[in-house]
């Protein structure tokens, strides 16, 4: 089973996870993952589970191991992927720190993503996700939690890649992923101008099938979710620190200026 090095860079240097803030981590820079592999297997019609149970996590940040759903030879697999895509041509692991989100508009053009977009698409299951809203006259930003109204884990559109460290080419390769983002829908717009692509179940098979390589048709799937798919509420600024965990992070709080 894949065991990527979440705490160390390719050169052996320590990665300071705490230095990642929600403001430089990207559009979709934090999310919630509390569903077990067993629940995900049922929800996403998984054929094989190759991931360990990563546990309930309420503040998942880039560089972490996350669940990814891939498909090869018609077999749908739940596995563990490093969040932050490392292109196959990268010389070092830290390249992935800049690859946590891929814009839907250019995902078929960027060198880091275009091969994966054609051949290595995945789903990233998430219970909820966070975005930060600017507060007029203040330096702080107000975090908001977005989750599916139906209460089930949602499916982010993702891409995955395999990378071998050129310094240790005989080691097991690293498998990593990036979350695709698109323009915000009306629910999201007061908080942020972009959002993760949330694929409905009717699109899962088409997105996962590596034999489907019509990039124009695939890009038609990368649209904002319908207005009634999500619900939102403000949460504590405690979530802004990646070291904070626990169910209290998803609880609603009172805010003075709620976006309409």
In the predicted model, is pLDDT for residue 11 greater than 60?
A: no
pLDDT tens-digit profile of 133-180? 998 888 889 999 999 999 999 999 999 999 999 999 889 999 999 999
* Residues 84, 96 contacting (CB under 8 angstroms): yes
pLDDT tens-digit profile of 101-116? 999 999 999 999 999 9
d(CA 109, CA 117): 9
The model's pTM is: 0.88
pLDDT (0 to 100) of residue 258: 54
In the predicted model, is pLDDT for residue 2 greater than 50?
A: no
- Output Rg (C-alpha) for the chain, integer angstroms: 18
pLDDT (0 to 100) of residue 7: 32
In the predicted model, is pLDDT for residue 18 greater than 50?
A: no
Rounded mean pLDDT of 43-69? 98
d(CA 118, CA 105): 15
pLDDT (0 to 100) of residue 257: 59
Which residues are marked as active site? 28, 131
* Residues 4, 175 contacting (CB under 8 angstroms): yes
Rounded mean pLDDT of 173-190? 97
Tell me how long the chain is: 260
81 HSE (CA, 13 A, CB side): 30
Fold of 17-250: hypothetical protein yedk fold (3.90.1680)
- For the chain, the structural domain boundaries read 17-250
In the predicted model, is pLDDT for residue 12 greater than 80?
A: no
Rounded mean pLDDT of 198-217? 97
d(CA 3, CA 16): 19
Q: What is the mean pLDDT of the chain?
A: 89
In the predicted model, is pLDDT for residue 13 greater than 60?
A: no
pLDDT (0 to 100) of residue 140: 86
Greater model confidence, 1 or 79: 79
pLDDT (0 to 100) of residue 10: 30
């Amino acid at each position: 089973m894949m065991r990527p090095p979440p705490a160390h860079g390719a050169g052996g240097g320590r990665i300071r996870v705490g230095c990642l803030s929600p403001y430089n981590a990207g559009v979709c820079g934090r999310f919630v993952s509390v569903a077990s592999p067993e629940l995900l297997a049922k929800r996403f019609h998984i054929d094989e589970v190759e991931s360990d149970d990563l546990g309930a996590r309420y503040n998942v940040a880039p560089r972490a191991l996350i669940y990814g759903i891939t498909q090869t030879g018609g077999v749908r697999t739940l596995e563990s992927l490093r969040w932050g895509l490392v292109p196959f041509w990268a010389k070092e692991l830290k390249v992935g720190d800049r690859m946590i989100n891929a814009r839907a508009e250019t995902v078929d053009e960027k060198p880091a993503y275009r091969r994966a977009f054609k051949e290595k698409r995945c789903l990233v299951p998430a219970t909820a996700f966070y975005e930060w809203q600017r507060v007029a006259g203040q330096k702080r930003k107000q975090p908001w939690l977005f989750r599916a109204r139906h209460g089930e884990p949602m499916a982010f559109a993702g891409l995955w890649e395999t990378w071998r460290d050129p310094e240790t080419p005989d080691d097991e390769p690293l498998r990593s992923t990036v979350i695709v983002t698109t323009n915000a829908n009306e629910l999201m717009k007061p908080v942020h101008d972009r959002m993760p692509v949330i694929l409905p179940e009717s699109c899962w098979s088409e997105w996962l099938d590596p034999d489907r390589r019509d990039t124009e048709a695939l890009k038609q799937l990368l649209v904002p979710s319908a207005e009634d798919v999500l619900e939102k509420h403000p949460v504590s600024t405690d979530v802004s620190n990646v070291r904070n965990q626990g169910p209290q992070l998803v609880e609603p709080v009172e805010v003075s200026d709620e976006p309409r």
